[in-house]
Chain A
């Protein structure tokens, strides 16, 4: 290894370390705080002074919290599957088929995401009670499409448009239907985009608070962010900081694992050579 590449390597890893440090430090601080109780919460530490798992035990002994996590898993996964299914088909039409008004249609879809959440709350609440899905997971799944669907449609449309047309033409010549083209040819090429939008939509649904609070009316239906907001001290004013942090750590870890599993798919499935071949 020459000096220059060595120097470049060191610089590169230094950048990686800085990025990781900044991203992870507040999370590290959350872990640190989750081991604290009482007055220690108000003291600054950089390293854990003791490992007190009391907060974690309290959280895990709270049956409602586990129930909330399961609710969130179900709601977020269903939302993602639902959104990706609708978006993949729609974005094929928007990206690969020529028809008038595509730009306008895309803008209309985007417009759905332009209202502040709080403003649509009243109307959405009426709608959900009208359909009769108030206080069920479907209320959340349906309302989350307001922000997941425009996003997934737009991202997938952009990516699908960039796929080389030769691939599609070859398939058409072989007699493939649009459905086959989407599922057999485009999907494998789109893995990085699918996984990325899926992950982002999953996290968005997982973390949503306002709709989840408004559309539930029983403790067993609540999702994780609401359950965390429910953790409380012995009075209205006390914030049970250690507990909240322990809960946040517990719900963030599954997300990290999820990313670890799926990130392998964020790898190029496409080579320019493959287009010609």
Chain B
């Protein structure tokens, strides 16, 4: 393996300075754009979460502190009553659903995605067509594919029950999205179908960045392919894989559109985004919904930070 960043102790310090100046100018446009687009909406959401704003009067909210998160009042009888999102069972149910969904979907998507990428990395006839074909699930707009799957999952005229019945895997028609125990499964199936291509493509790019000669030398040395995978391929593709996983986790934790179309309001699949939308828009609790969005933001931040720490992802590029 080649060593990275041997420049660490570069003697030419003026070169470093030149690079740092360039770095500033290279970063500035991107940071400027992000600041323009994101700063106001994000800070405003967080601000709303500390007020009693409602959508009927967006500018008339007053500061209420942490009331939307947690507040309590001790009655004269000595009993304390808690209120706020942090003691809302519906919220915790959504958190649990989302985490369950994220863990299962991201794990399976990573494994399947990597496998697909390995297949696509091999050279074979019609590789281009196959690469295009596997991207189709990702390319169909979610609003359409979610509805399409809802149709396919229909218990009476859906093709999935029909197929399974014909093959003999089930003996009666299953109400996929209606049952509490299969609702989450249905959402997972569609999500894995839909986003595995995303994973596969990123892994493929990672695989393609590995120099060919590394395999060849391994081959000449007669190392078993599985050993090659774990000792050569995986470590080299790991950075790309880690980034892909981060972005998938981000999306999975913010999971919205699929559930919104496929199983709206089912307690078995309500996610954090769904419940915060409900409060933001449907119910007259804009500030409460903002608080939930902010909590979602915090949960994601913690998850990502944990993940980077546990995965020993090198953000600074200082290792080696």
Shortest beta-carbon distance, B109 to chain A, in Å? 13
Task: List B212-239 residues whose CB lies under 8 Å from chain A.
Answer: 212-214, 236, 239
| Dominant secondary structure of chain B at its interface with chain A | helix
Contact B293 A116 (CB under 8 A): yes
CA distance A24 to B138 in the complex (A): 11
Interface stretch among B82-90, B179-187, B194-202? B194-202
Smallest Cβ-Cβ distance to A255: which chain B residue = B139
Interface 1/0s, chain A 134-170, versus B by CB < 8 A? 0000000011011001110111001101101110110
**Shortest CB distance A28–B (Å):** 10
Bound: A22/B213 CA distance, A: 33
Q: Which residues of B contact A124 (CB under 8 A)?
A: 37, 40-41
Interface bracket on A = 35 or more
Task: For B208, give its contact among A118, A169, A268 (CB under 8 Å).
Answer: A268
* Stretch from B2-10, B62-70, B73-81, B262-270 contacting the other chain: B2-10
Q: Which residues in A have their C-beta under 8 angstroms from that of B318?
A: 98
Contact B132 A260 (CB under 8 A): yes
B138-162 residues with Cβ-Cβ distance < 8 A to A are 138-145, 147-149, 151-152, 157-159, 162
In this complex, which of B15, B131, B305, B315 has the most chain A Cβ atoms within 10 angstroms of its Cβ? B315
In the complex the two chains form, what is the Cα distance from A199 to B22 in whole Å?
A: 28
| Contact indicator per residue, chain B 9-28, by CB within 8 Å of chain A (1) or not (0) | 00000011011101110110
Report B-chain residues with C-beta under 8 Å of the C-beta of A47: none
Q: Could you say which residues of chain B place their CB within 8 Å of the CB of A266?
A: 131, 201, 204-205, 208
- B304 interface hit (Cβ, 8 Å): yes
Smallest CB gap from B200: residue in A = A19
Give 1 or 0 for each of A58-95: 1 = CB within 8 Å of chain B CB: 00000000000000000000000000001101101111
Minimum CB–CB distance from B19 to chain A (whole Å) comes to: 5
Asked if B289 and A112 make an inter-chain contact with CB atoms under 8 angstroms apart, the answer reads: no
Distance to closest chain B CB from A48 (angstroms) = 14
Count of chain B residues with a beta carbon within 8 Å of a chain A beta carbon: 111
Q: Which residues of A contact B300 (CB under 8 A)?
A: 114
Distance between B47 CB and nearest chain A CB, rounded to angstroms: 9
Residue of A nearest to B53 (CB): A122
Question: Nearest A residue to B242 by beta-carbon distance?
Answer: A158
Complex Cα distance, B213 from A274, in Å, reads 10
On chain B, the residues within 8 Å of A122 by CB distance are 41, 44-45, 48, 58
In the complex with contacts A89-B30, A110-B246, A165-B3, A29-B148 CB distance below 8 A: yes
Contact A12 B240 (CB under 8 A): no
* Contact status B204-A120, CB under 8 Å: no
Chain B residues proximal to chain A, CB less than 8 Å:
2-8, 15-16, 18-20, 22-24, 26-27, 29-31, 33-34, 36-38, 40-45, 48, 58, 116, 119, 122, 124, 128-145, 147-149, 151-152, 157-159, 162, 193, 197-198, 201-202, 204-206, 208-214, 236, 239-240, 242-244, 246-247, 250, 254, 256-257, 272-273, 276-277, 280-281, 289-290, 293-294, 296-297, 300-301, 304-305, 315-318
Closest 8 CB pairs of A and B: A123-B41, A119-B293, A103-B315, A272-B211, A93-B23, A123-B44, A120-B41, A97-B23
Interface residues of A, Cβ cutoff 8 Å to B: 12-13, 15-16, 19-20, 22-24, 26-27, 29-30, 33, 42-44, 46, 86-87, 89-90, 92-99, 102-103, 105-107, 109-124, 126-127, 142-143, 145-146, 149-151, 153-155, 158-159, 161-162, 164-166, 168-169, 172, 177-179, 192-193, 195-197, 199-200, 203, 206-207, 209, 224-225, 228-229, 239, 241, 244-245, 248, 251-252, 255-256, 259-260, 263-264, 266-268, 270-275
